[in-house]
Amino acid sequence: MAKFILRRLLYSIPTVFGITIASFSLVHMAPGDPVQLLVFGAGGLDPDEIARLRSQLGLDQPILIQYLNWLSKLMRFDLGTSFFANQPVSLMVFQRMGNTLQLTIVSLTLSLLVGIPLGIVAALNAGSVWDHVSRLIAVLGSAIPQFWLGILCILVFSLWLRVLPAGSMYTLSTGGTDVIDRLKHLILPAVVLSTTSIAIFSRFIRAETLEVLHQDYIRTANAKGLSTKVVVTRHVAKNALIPIITLLGGSLERLFGGAVVIETIFSWPGMGRMGFDAAMQRDYPVLMGLIVISSILVVVGYLIADIAYAWVDPRIKHS
Amino acid sequence: MRILELRHRERVLSAATALLVSLLLLVPILAACQSRQPDVRQKGSEPVKGGTVVYGAAADAKSLNPILISDANSRTVSNLIFEGLVATDAKTGAPKPMLAESWSVSDEGLRYTFKIRDGVKWHDGTPVTSEDARFTYETILDPKTKTVRRSLYDQVKSFSTPDKNTLVVELKGSFCPFLITGMSMPIVPKHILEKSTDINTDDFNSNAPVGTGPFIFNEWVKDDHITLTANENYWGGPPNIDAFIYKVVKDVNVIAAQLKTGDLDAGEFTSQPQLVSEMKSTQELNVYDFPALEYTSLGYNMARPFLQDTRVRQALTMALDRDKMLSTILDKQGEPMLSHIPMTSWAYDPDLPRFPYDPSQAAQLLEKAGYKKSSDGLLRDKDGNQIKLTLYTSSGNKVREGVATVAREQFKEIGIDLTVQLEQFTALVDRMNKSKDFDMVVIGWSLGADPDSKSVWHSSQRGDGGLNVINYVNPEVDKLLDEGRTLPGCDQGSRKEIYSKFQKILAEDQPYNFLFAPRILYGVSSRLQGVNPSPWSGMFWNLNEWYSDTGK
């Protein structure tokens, strides 16, 4: 097992490298230039001022040199400095990561708690009303755009019913120390954020469960005279849930990456919004920093998923 | 049979789902349609002490250090903490004393002597001296400083400080905008920043700014809020309110909702003028509007042969119904612009050539220029080539997208096939400044307190770093711009004459269709009094005079 992990980690080094090369070139090839944006903001600049800004931002070097400079800094765990905020990227990430994790972890938990039972119930009662209700929820969850649902929720729960706050992480006057207040602020963004994943999880689990239900060992279990409850919990659910590990492995990156739309609508100071703004302004260091972190998380996420697979499913052996 | 039945049920179900979804989608639209009659409120009388103002902003600040800032959001907050020697008068747009209680200018306009107010202290209690001012400008001029403001001090020969209350600035040549652009730069404390190892990344910029202004920095939770508290020792007297919170809200619809719930006390909704009636009908809110120091224009690329003919540009301007745009796109929250100088400016000349909406006269002008609508309804030149143009604008900006849509429709009436391309703003800036590959561009321009606009109109500004994106070349305009900038003595009356000529030429030449200037729209809690927005100084210039009816 240790050998497997080591090998996988070694394999992932070129992957991450490849991603940095590809994304560095893509980010720099995208039309738009942060210096031109500064020129526009300043109301025009002399050419020698522009040249100075370029060299201060390191943009006067050939792209290959720029990449190598960036890479050598990365090796020393230095993600560089934001062009526009003039702050270390690592600090900017650190300031927002906790906020994003609060939101995404709660929303992922919610998606699992709702999505899994919904999928299993739908599969066990395929074709019944329950199945249709579950399908309806899944269709709504994936069809309704989150920005719209978010605004609707603010309208209904904050403006009309006045039961929940219209965004941000806590009431400013509480200073963020009141747990109940924080939970109230979490409800709307977490629920809205989980709608899509509830839809995905429930459909996924339904399909898996249906497949397991047709397996020989389920027939055997039923034939042995085991109660439905035991068959479902011990044989069906256990096997149907294994593939969800893959889904979870892929979610690791999303946990940290945040959610642009939800963060924007609910004024949530997280990573998604920071990444979006950086992309809009071509803030290369911030953008590259986020890409590196995300790609490492994707690699690690799937590695953990593979290990977890071997652990829960004795049929799989890594060597 | 069973399968068929299932399919049928599925179809019914999905139809029902679709119906439900669309009904749900209607809810916010219907809600937005509701409106009540605005009511009249009376103002409170005596200022009360106490209270917090929470302002919902569309974006976070990036830095609070005034010499490093290049964006408007940062400046909103920074201007409450820091002050310059000179400020822009909220009523007239002329320079007025701030930290300098007075100044004198030598006859030839090359030597400025500023007397700094006595007894002004930094927020940490250290007295402000002329050394602080000099340090500020010299730091801006330091090549290591990452600032875009260096060109403000291009014409400076030297700064000197004969005593701690006097600053003398010697210029190399006369530079009329200097007082209002260069000397309104807020100053930073020398005693703190001279110890800094790297001013660009110093903690001062984001976690410990120390200024002289009416508000003191308290905390900044990035992307969430910035809290400022009242400076009880402010030289202009303590503010009425206790605190100001700059809350990042981003989405304008959410700002509107939070204004209604009372989570916010102030918020801007200029980008969504359709919200005006809804805001006005909300009991707890007052709506403030004032003319913007900016306008939306449709620029013609003068490097394109078709657009080089003045008659063609005039015709194109006459083909667009500006009044209709103002009412449909801006909900009447704006005024038409005739040239590059705002109506509120001392330099504004109302007596300018106008090209009102008149499609038939537009067609005549085009015919004179050699372009005629052929039988298929398309405009063609003498050789029968069809006129096809491409217009670029920034995606996500509803006003500009609206203008582009109207332009496509109305240009079609005079036979022009217009393709509209939306580009993300950063990419569009690149196109305008570098490749210049466009026929028309819809873009916004912000204007300064001084009428100088060399960077946008001078023929020398067509290259890298200049903002003459449409390749406008007019030697007479070049001459007027240079004169207006460097007129010895900088007499306002003489400058006004120069800029009058400048405006007339621009309005006649129509290098842009100058379209319109929007009105800036704010919703403010009705418990707040003393609010006095200014086109020159914005919403919060007199925040220290605001007070809350309730003291909360």
> Does the pLDDT value for residue B89 go beyond 70?
yes
Q: Which of A37, A46, A81 sits opposite B426 (nearest CB)?
A: A37
- CB proximity B455 to A under 8 Å: yes
Contact call for A44 and B456, based on CB within 8 A: yes
d(CA A180, CA A104): 18
β-strands B388-394, B440-446 pairing: parallel
Report the chain B residue with the minimal C-alpha distance to residue A92.
B222
What is the SS3 assignment for A83?
A: coil
Report the chain B residue with the minimal C-alpha distance to residue A52.
B143
β-strands B388-394, B417-423 pairing: parallel
Contact call for A136 and B467, based on CB within 8 A: no
- CB proximity B33 to A under 8 Å: no
The token duo for B24 is 């749900």
Give the closest residue to B225 by CA, choosing from A268, A69, A201.
A268
> Does the pLDDT value for residue B1 go beyond 50?
no
- In the predicted model, what is the mean pLDDT of chain A? 89
Tens of pLDDT, residues B423-465: 999 999 989 988 899 999 999 999 989 999 999 999 999 988 8
pLDDT of residue B459: 95
Q: Do B530 and B240 meet the contact criterion of CB atoms below 8 Å apart? A: yes
Tens of pLDDT, residues A282-307: 999 999 999 999 888 888 888 888 88
DSSP state of A173: G
Structure confidence at residue B250 as a pLDDT band (50, 70, 90) = confident
The token duo for A46 is 């002399």
Q: Do B412 and B402 meet the contact criterion of CB atoms below 8 Å apart? A: no
> Does the pLDDT value for residue A43 go beyond 90?
no
Nearest 10 degrees: CA dihedral of A273, A275, A276, A279? 160
In the numeric block, the tokens 């200049």 are attached to: B466
pLDDT of residue A304: 87
- CB proximity A158 to B under 8 Å: yes
Residues 108-167 of B with CB under 8 A from A: 143, 146, 148-151, 154
Structure confidence at residue B45 as a pLDDT band (50, 70, 90) = low
Tell me, what's the ipTM?
0.86
Between A232 and B268, the more confident residue is: B268
* Helices A146-153 and A179-213, packing angle to 10 deg: 140
The one-letter amino acid code at B539 reads M
Mean pLDDT score, A126-148: 91
Contact call for A143 and B221, based on CB within 8 A: no
Contact call for B28 and A162, based on CB within 8 A: no
The token duo for B4 is 């068929």
- Burial of residue B41 (CB within 10 Å: 0-12, 13-18, 19+) is exposed
Name the minimum distance, in Å, from the CA of A30 to any CA of chain B: 8
d(CA A41, CA A34): 11
pLDDT of residue B465: 84
Give the closest residue to B439 by CA, choosing from B386, B372, B393.
B393
Report the chain B residue with the minimal C-alpha distance to residue A100.
B223
Contacts of A32 in chain B (CB under 8 A): 424, 426-427, 429-430
Neighbours of B200 (CB within 10 A): 17
pLDDT of residue A258: 72
- CB proximity A167 to B under 8 Å: yes
d(CA B482, CA A106): 62
pLDDT of residue A319: 53
Residues 186-245 of A with CB under 8 A from B: none
Contacts of A260 in chain B (CB under 8 A): none
pLDDT of residue B549: 87
In the numeric block, the tokens 């964006």 are attached to: B71
d(CA A282, CA A99): 24
Q: For residues A237-255, b (16+ Cβ closer than 10 Å) or e, as one string?
A: bebbbbbbbbbbbebbbbb
Contacts of B149 in chain A (CB under 8 A): 42
- CB proximity A299 to B under 8 Å: no
- Burial of residue A88 (CB within 10 Å: 0-12, 13-18, 19+) is middle
Contact call for B251 and A86, based on CB within 8 A: no
Q: Do B397 and B405 meet the contact criterion of CB atoms below 8 Å apart? A: no
> Does the pLDDT value for residue B320 go beyond 90?
yes
Report the first-to-last Cα separation within chain A, whole angstroms: 7
Q: How far is CA A232 from the centre of its chain?
A: 31
Contacts of A33 in chain B (CB under 8 A): 426, 429-430, 434
Structure confidence at residue A317 as a pLDDT band (50, 70, 90) = low
Contacts of A52 in chain B (CB under 8 A): 143
Contact call for A49 and B465, based on CB within 8 A: yes
Contacts of A31 in chain B (CB under 8 A): 423, 426-427, 430-431
Q: Do B507 and B513 meet the contact criterion of CB atoms below 8 Å apart? A: no
Q: Which residues contact A238 (CB under 8 A, 6 or more apart)?
A: none
- CB proximity B423 to A under 8 Å: yes
Give the closest residue to B185 by CA, choosing from B119, B121, B140, B225.
B140
Q: Is the dihedral of CA A16, A19, A25, A27 positive or negative?
A: negative
- CB proximity A168 to B under 8 Å: yes
> Does the pLDDT value for residue A166 go beyond 50?
yes
Q: What string of DSSP letters covers A43-55?
A: T---HHHHHHHHH
Domain segments of chain A: what residues? 96-278
Mean pLDDT score, A118-147: 91
B227-230: long-range contacts, CB 8 A cutoff, minimum separation 24: B227/A172, B228/B77, B228/B80, B228/B81, B230/B544
Contact call for B71 and A81, based on CB within 8 A: no
The one-letter amino acid code at B144 reads K
The token duo for B37 is 């009659």
Phi, psi dihedral angles at B34 (to 5 degrees): -60, 140
Lowest mean pLDDT among A232-236, B207-211, B319-323, B382-386: A232-236
- CB proximity A26 to B under 8 Å: no
A229-232: long-range contacts, CB 8 A cutoff, minimum separation 24: A232/A120, A232/A124
Structure confidence at residue B65 as a pLDDT band (50, 70, 90) = very high
Tens of pLDDT, residues B169-223: 999 999 999 999 999 999 999 999 999 999 999 999 999 999 999 999 999 999 9
Contact call for A49 and B150, based on CB within 8 A: yes
Cα–Cα distance list, A145 to A100, A148, A150, B33 (Å): 20, 5, 9, 21
d(CA A89, CA A82): 6
Contacts of B446 in chain A (CB under 8 A): 43
Contact call for A154 and B148, based on CB within 8 A: no
Q: Do A171 and A178 meet the contact criterion of CB atoms below 8 Å apart? A: yes
Contact call for B21 and A44, based on CB within 8 A: no
Beta-bridge partner residues of B232: none
Structure confidence at residue B95 as a pLDDT band (50, 70, 90) = very high
Q: Do B61 and B252 meet the contact criterion of CB atoms below 8 Å apart? A: no
Neighbours of A229 (CB within 10 A): 8
Report the chain B residue with the minimal C-alpha distance to residue A57.
B146
- CB proximity A53 to B under 8 Å: yes
Tens of pLDDT, residues B261-301: 999 999 999 999 999 999 999 999 999 999 999 999 999 99
Give the closest residue to A243 by CA, choosing from A297, A194, A195, A200.
A200
The one-letter amino acid code at A27 reads V
Q: Which of A30, A44, A151 sits opposite B466 (nearest CB)?
A: A44
Nearest 10 degrees: CA dihedral of B71, B73, B75, B76? 160
Q: For residues B305-324, b (16+ Cβ closer than 10 Å) or e, as one string?
A: ebbebebbbbbbbbbbbbee
Q: Which of B224, B250, B257 sits opposite A264 (nearest CB)?
A: B250
- Burial of residue B244 (CB within 10 Å: 0-12, 13-18, 19+) is buried
- Burial of residue A192 (CB within 10 Å: 0-12, 13-18, 19+) is buried
d(CA B381, CA B312): 12
Q: What string of DSSP letters covers B350-365?
A: S------S-HHHHHHH
Residues 255-274 of A with CB under 8 A from B: 264-267, 269-270, 273-274
- Picking from B5, B55, B254, B460 by the largest number of A CB atoms within 10 A of its own CB, the best residue to mutate is B254
The CATH number of the structural domain formed by A96-278 is 1.10.3720.10
pLDDT of residue B464: 82
- CB proximity A132 to B under 8 Å: yes
Contacts of B143 in chain A (CB under 8 A): 52
Cα–Cα distance list, B157 to B85, B138, B171, B452 (Å): 19, 11, 5, 21
Between B43 and B446, the more confident residue is: B446
Q: Is the dihedral of CA B70, B75, B77, B78 positive or negative?
A: positive
Q: Is the dihedral of CA B73, B401, B416, B317 positive or negative?
A: negative
Q: What string of DSSP letters covers B270-295?
A: TT-GGGHHHHHT-TTEEEEEEE-SEE
With vertex at residue A125, the alpha carbon angle to CA A123 and CA A130, rounded to the nearest 5 degrees, is 100
* 3-state DSSP percent of chain B in helix, strand and coil, to 5: 35, 25, 45
- CB proximity B378 to A under 8 Å: no
Phi, psi dihedral angles at A135 (to 5 degrees): -65, -40
With vertex at residue B289, the alpha carbon angle to CA B284 and CA B291, rounded to the nearest 5 degrees, is 170
Q: Which of A37, A46, A155 sits opposite B429 (nearest CB)?
A: A37
d(CA A38, CA A57): 12
pLDDT of residue B347: 94
The token duo for B450 is 């001084």
Phi, psi dihedral angles at B528 (to 5 degrees): -95, 130
d(CA A249, CA A241): 13
- Interface A-B: count of C-beta contacts within 8 A: 179
Beta-bridge partner residues of B37: none
- Burial of residue A181 (CB within 10 Å: 0-12, 13-18, 19+) is middle
Phi, psi dihedral angles at B219 (to 5 degrees): -155, 160
Mean pLDDT score, B456-481: 94
